[in-house]
Amino acid sequence: MLPLPVLDDKSFREIIEDALKLIPRFTPEWTDYNPHDPGMTFIELFAWLTEMQHYYMDQVGEQNYLKFLRLLGIRPKEAVAAKVDVTFSLPEGYAAASPLIVPQGTKLLAGEVIFETLETISLNKAKLVKILTAAGDFSDNTEANRRLGLYYYAFGEKAVQGSRLYLGFDNSPAELTLTVNLFEDYPEEGSHYGEQPVIIPTARVSWEYGYREIGWAVARETGDWRPLNLLKDETLGLFRSGRVYLARPDSEPQQEKINFWLRCTVVQDGYEIPPKIHNILYNTIGAVQQETLSGADNPLLLTCGSGLPGQKIILQRTRVISSTFALQVEEKNRESNQITLMWRDWQRVDDFDASGPDDRHYVLNPETGEVFFGDGVNGAVPPAPVRVGEKNIRVVTYQVGGGEKGNLKAGAVNKLLCPPDSELADLLVENHLPAVSGAEPETLDKAKARARRELNTVSRAVTFADFEKLACMTPGLRVARAKAFHGKEGVKVVVVPYSQAPNPMPGEGFLETVRRHLDMHRLVTTRVEVLPPQYTVVNVYASVGIKPRYDPATSREQILMGLEKFLHPVWGGPEGTGWPFGRKVYKSELYQLIETIEGVDYVKELEVTGPEEGDQMKDQVKPQRLVYLGERRVDILSPGRTEKGAVR
C-alpha cells in the first residue's frame, strides 16, 4: 500500500513564523512585529485561513465518500416503509346483495400513522369457522388459528403424501383468497446481492372443494370433492408465507344451510421443513405505511420557474418515497411552428455530473423534500412561465412514508380513513400480526460497512470454498451446509437443508434451485452437479451409572438429548456447527460427552454400531458422507438397581 502524504503538516504558529521570515525580503521597511500592528493582524488572519484549508485538504468529507460509494455501485438506502396484513370484517347484519369492494390505496389509521392498502379486495360474508388436519388422525386446529402465539402443523409433523388440511366456511364465498402466515422462526433464508428468489418446490398440493356440514364426521367422508383451479400461489404449496388465490367454485349447493369446505391435499411430499401455520386469514390484504399525495390534494406542489440556474423548490412533506415522485415542467413546444405549451416529464438523477445543458434532470433529497435543478451547464434550467404569475412546475404525484415508526404491534391498525357517509365507514379492520420491515434511512457509516461486506461477498464460483458459500446463499432457501469436491466431469456440491429431522434430505426442487443459482455464478467451462448428502447411521447403546439422589429418567433423557445433538448433521460435531463431512465417530468423544452430563458417575459400557445390526462402526467414513444417530438405548445403573432403557 502506498504511503499517504500528510497535507496538514504545519500548525498555525509555524505558518506565522514562515510569514515573518519573508517580511525582511519583500518589505524591509516593516520592522514592527508586535501584535498591535495591523499588518500582524492580517498575517494571523491569513494564517488561520491557510490552516483551515490545509485541514480540509487532508480530510475525506461526506460528499467524497458518497462519490466513492457510487463508483462501487452502492448508494445509501432510503427509509423503508413497514408492511402489514390487515383483515376486514363486515358489520353485523350486513345484507347487501353485491360484495363490498375496498379499493387499492384505501387509507387506514394506526393512531397518527397512515397505511394504504396495496390492492383491491372484494369482501365476503363467509367466515372461516373450522380448521382440521388429517395426518393419520384428525386434529382440530380452529382455536390455535385464532390465538396469537399458537402454531399447528398443516399436514402433521411429517407432511407425508396424502395428508390433508380442511378449511370449513359457514357460507359459500364469492372469492377465494387465503392469507397463510407460517411459523418462520428459523435461520434466515439465503440472499445474494438482492437477487430475487426463484424457488422450485418439491412438494405439491392440490385444492378441492365440497359442501358439507360443519363437524368431524362429515370431514372424514370421501364424498363428492371437486377440483378447484389455482389462479396464483404465493406460498408455493405452503412452502412459505403468502396468499393463495383460488378460482370460484363452478357449482352451488343443492340445498340451503350446507357449508362450504376447502381441502388441501399433499400430492407429492418433499418438505424440508413441514409447514407449521401461525394463522390462516380471510378477507385479508396487504398494507404499507405510506401516504399518496397528488396536485389536487396539495396546492403547494405547484410553483413557477425562475429561469435562473440552481433553482430549488421545497415540498410540503418530507421523507419522500423517491420511486413514486413524478415532476413536470410546462414548456414551449419547439417542434411546432406555432407557439404552444405542453407539460414535459423531467427525470430524477442522483447528481448532475453526467447531465448536459439540455437534459431535463433534477435531484431529489427524499429526507428533506428538496428538489434541485441544474445550472444550464450540468442540467437544464426550468424556464420562467410564458405568462407572468402562472405556475409552470408541478408535481404530479408522490408518496411519503417509511421509518421505524411504522413497526407497530398487532391490533394497532384499527380504523379506516374515509368520509362518515362512505359505505366503508362501518367496516372493522385489524392487523392480527405486527407491522414489520420499517427502517430508517441508511447512514453513511452503515453504507460504508455494507460496501465492505458486499466487496467481500463471493460473486463468482472459482474455488471449492466459493461454491460452498454461494450454495448457502441461494435466495429463498435455508441451506444449512454445503460441501464441494471434485467430480468426474466437474464440481460436485453436496447440500444439507436446515431441518429438525435427524438426517435432513433436500428434495429434487431444492437441489435444482441451488444448481440454477450456482449456474449463474460458475465459470463458463465448469460443470456443476448438486447432490443430496449420503448418511451413515450410528447406533449407540450405553450402560451408565449415576450418582445417588439423581433421577434415572431425567439422567437418561439428558444423555439421549446430548447424543442426538452431538451426532446431528446440522448443529452437531465437536464445534457445534454440524458433523464434519467424512469424519468418523470416536468412542472417546461419546465417553467424554456422557461423562460431562450432570449426575453421571461413570460409563460402564458403550457400544457403537453401524447400519447393520451387530456390525462394528467402520473406521473410515467417505469424504462426502455424514453420520446421524439411529437406534439408541441407555441403561441406567443406580445404587441397588438397574433400569434398562427402551430402544428409540
How does pLDDT run across 382-409, given as a tens digit for each residue?
998 877 778 889 888 899 999 999 999 9
Q: Which of 180-194, 450-464, 618-632 has the lowest mean pLDDT?
A: 618-632
CA distance 331 to 392: 8
Q: How confident is the model at residue 309 (pLDDT cuts 50, 70, 90)?
A: very high
Most confident of 94-103, 236-245, 605-614: 236-245
Instruction: Give dist(CA 567, CA 538) in Å, integer.
Output: 8
pLDDT in tens, 65-119: 898 999 888 999 999 999 999 999 888 777 666 778 899 999 999 999 999 999 9
Contact yes or no for 504/496 (Cβ under 8 A): yes
Q: Which amino acid is at 610?
A: G
Alpha carbon 24 to its chain's center: 71
3-state helix/strand/coil string of 347-366: EECCCCCCCCCCCCEEEEEC
Q: Which residues fall within 8 angstroms of residue 546, CB to CB, at 6 or more apart?
A: 552, 555, 599, 600, 601, 636, 637, 638
pLDDT value for 294:
76
Does position 208 have pLDDT exceeding 90, yes or no? yes
pLDDT in tens, 359-384: 999 999 999 999 999 999 999 999 98
Among 81-85, 192-196, 281-285, 464-468, the least confident range: 192-196
Which of the pair, 627 or 212, is modelled with greater confidence? 627
What is the rounded distance in angstroms from the CA atom of residue 435 to the CA atom of residue 114?
12
Find the mean pLDDT for residues 127-136.
90
The whole-number average pLDDT for the span 133-160 is: 91
Amino acid in position 188: E
User: Looking at 33-47, 207-221, 323-337, 480-494, which range is the least confident one?
Assistant: 207-221
| pLDDT confidence of residue 149 | 85
The conformational region for residue 258 under phi > 0 = left, psi -120 to 50 = alpha, else beta, is: beta
pLDDT at residue 96, rounded to an integer: 65
Q: 641: Cβ–Cβ under 8 A, 6 or more apart, which residues?
A: none
pLDDT for residue 542: 92
Select the CATH number that applies to the domain covering 125-184+199-282 from these four: 3.40.718.10, 2.60.120.260, 3.30.70.360, 3.40.50.300: 2.60.120.260
Q: How is the chain split into domains, by residue range?
A: 78-120+285-289+402-441, 125-184+199-282, 309-369+383-400, 458-531, 534-643
Give the pLDDT score at 133.
Answer: 93
Note the pLDDT of residue 618: 54
C-alpha span between 574 and 554 (Å, rounded): 24
- The answer to whether residues 260 and 58 touch, using CB atoms and an 8 Å cutoff, is no
Q: Is the predicted pLDDT of residue 454 greater than 80, yes or no?
A: yes
> pLDDT category, 176, cuts 50, 70, 90?
confident
- Using CA atoms, how far residue 192 sits from 422, 443, 528, in Å, is 46, 22, 19
For residue 250, the model assigns a pLDDT of 76
Sorted by sequence, the CB contacts under 8 Å of residue 611 that are 6+ apart come out as 536, 537, 630
CA distance linking residue 430 with residue 87, whole number of Å: 5
Task: Give the sign of the dihedral formed by CA 103, CA 104, CA 106, CA 109.
Answer: positive
| C-beta of residue 631 within 8 angstroms of C-beta of residue 615 | no
Q: What is the mean pLDDT of residues 247-275?
A: 84
**Domain range 458-531, CATH class:** alpha beta
Report how far residue 629's alpha carbon sits from residue 224's, in angstroms, rounded to the nearest whole number.
45
Residue 148: per-residue pLDDT: 84
> Would you say residue 254 has pLDDT above 80?
no
Evaluate whether 82 touches 288 at the Cβ level (below 8 Å).
yes
Give the pLDDT confidence score for residue 76 in this predicted structure.
93
**Confidence band of 613 (pLDDT split at 50, 70, 90):** very low
Whether the per-residue pLDDT at 142 is higher than 60: the answer is: yes
Segment 16-28 shows an average pLDDT of: 90
pLDDT digits (tens, 9 = 90+) for 564-584: 999 999 999 989 899 999 888
Of 202, 372, 371, 376, nearest to 273 by C-alpha is: 202
Task: For residue 138, count other CB atoms closer than 10 A to its CB.
Answer: 13
pLDDT category of residue 127 using cuts at 50, 70 and 90: confident
To 10 degrees, the CA torsion angle through 544, 549, 552, 553? -150
Q: Could you read off the pLDDT of 475-531 as tens digits, one per residue?
A: 999 999 999 999 888 999 999 999 989 999 999 999 999 999 999 999 999 999 999
How buried is residue 91: exposed, middle or buried, by Cβ count under 10 Å (0-12/13-18/19+)? Answer: exposed
Edge-first strand order for the sheet with 226-227 is: 137-140, 128-135, 164-169, 259-268, 204-212, 226-227
Paired sense of beta strands 370-373 and 100-102, if any: unpaired
Cβ atoms of residues 417 and 108 within 8 Å:
yes
Report, as an integer, the average pLDDT of 127-146: 91
Instruction: Write down the mean pLDDT value for the chain.
Output: 88
Predicted local distance difference test score (pLDDT) of residue 614: 42
Q: How far apart are CA 212 and CA 632, in angstroms?
A: 47
Residue 234 contacts residue 242 (beta carbons within 8 Å):
yes
